[in-house]
Amino acid sequence: NEIEEIKGLENCHSLTQLGLSHNKLTATQGLQNLPIKILNLSFNQIEKVNGLKTLKKLQRVDLSNNKINSLEGLEEHDLLEFINLEENQVAELSELKWIEDLPLLRVLNLLKNPLQKVHGYWLSAIFMLLQVTELDLKKVSVEEKVAAVNNQEPPPEVVAAEDHRIHVLCNIWQPQTVLHSTLPGADEDYPMLVLVGPLAGGKRQLALKICRKFKNSFRFGPCHTTRTAYFGEKNRLDYYFISQEVFVKMVIAGRFLLTYKYSGHSYGLARDTVESIAREGLATCIHLEIEGVRSLKNTHFKPRYILLVPNDKMKYEEHLRRTGLFSRAEIEEAVARVDMYLQINQDFPGYFHANINTGELFPIF
């Protein structure tokens, strides 16, 4: 046929299936509020699908072989199970946002669309549409869904395991020496104390106090970081402040036991830092965010982990503001992580060996 416009259907209150393929339609107007469940508008010249918003009973829609470049208009169709958009002009992965919340969507066909050429398309599409069981005429396996999640938004444990794997591999390629001081012994492991907690929660100050008071037992091990020093921090005492380029070179050289990212910056604990302290017969005392702890737990070290977290988030936020060191975004991120630390402590008994409420210590620190 050569139908160019949909009209005259407004009184078809029992219409549940409609096929208008192989016509000259350029829009999807004229279908408002109809009880259509199955709709075929393939092989037309449609550019937009915003005329479908009121088809709340829609279950299957075929829009293949058109000129559609956006999926806007397909959202909020809670019964939609099947979408065929083969041979259209959808070019951006971001367009999938319009259909990612469709609870019953199981089949999606985007063959012969430009977005298929986007790097990482397959796993990215699966990640955005985890409810889909068939994509581009191929079944989506459970393994592919797991790979998509691990690739796009991996669980923290996966990130830590990958971090550890990288450091082990990089270290293997370097000249090997026996690190006698930190090798696990037959009777006991090398002693390490790790203070864990959110930003400016007192872990650095407490670590330094412990090392000063028990200087014959502990030595503080500064981490390397790519962030700039806060007011009052000293290089080689609080952290080793280095560039991102130097940090990457150290990773490649296998010099880190662990690395992690926090607030856009890289942090790492160097092997030499721990080994130099151990050679003096002292225990290493360090402080980390939870990301670093997850990575360290993959190594042979078995430290004592002490959680320092404020129970009063309002007082903690006031404390961060009073320091004058942090941006609003940094403060909001730090406060939001308090609940995460408390939840980990609650959900995984024994993950931390002790828990200290630092709220009462802010005036001291």
Phi and psi at residue 13, to the nearest 5°? -75, -10
CA 324, 326, 329: angle at the middle one, nearest 5?
135
The structure tokens listed for 20 are: 């208008």
What pLDDT is stored for residue 73 in this prediction?
Answer: 93
User: Whole-angstrom Cα distance, residue 162 to residue 261?
Assistant: 13
DSSP per-residue letters across 255-317? -EEEEEEETTEEEEEEHHHHHHHHHTT-EEEEEE-HHHHHHHTTSS--PEEEEEE-S-HHHHH
pLDDT at 125 over 60: yes
Domains of the chain, each with CATH number or no CATH: 17-152 (3.80.10.10), 156-361 (3.40.50.300)
Residues 209-222: tens digit of each pLDDT: 999 999 999 999 99
Q: 241: which strand partners?
A: 225
Q: The whole model's pTM is what? A: 0.67
Residues 228-270: tens digit of each pLDDT: 999 989 999 999 999 999 999 999 999 999 999 999 999 999 9
User: Whole-angstrom Cα distance, residue 158 to residue 345?
Assistant: 19
Residues 26-43: tens digit of each pLDDT: 999 899 899 999 999 999
User: Whole-angstrom Cα distance, residue 68 to residue 294?
Assistant: 46
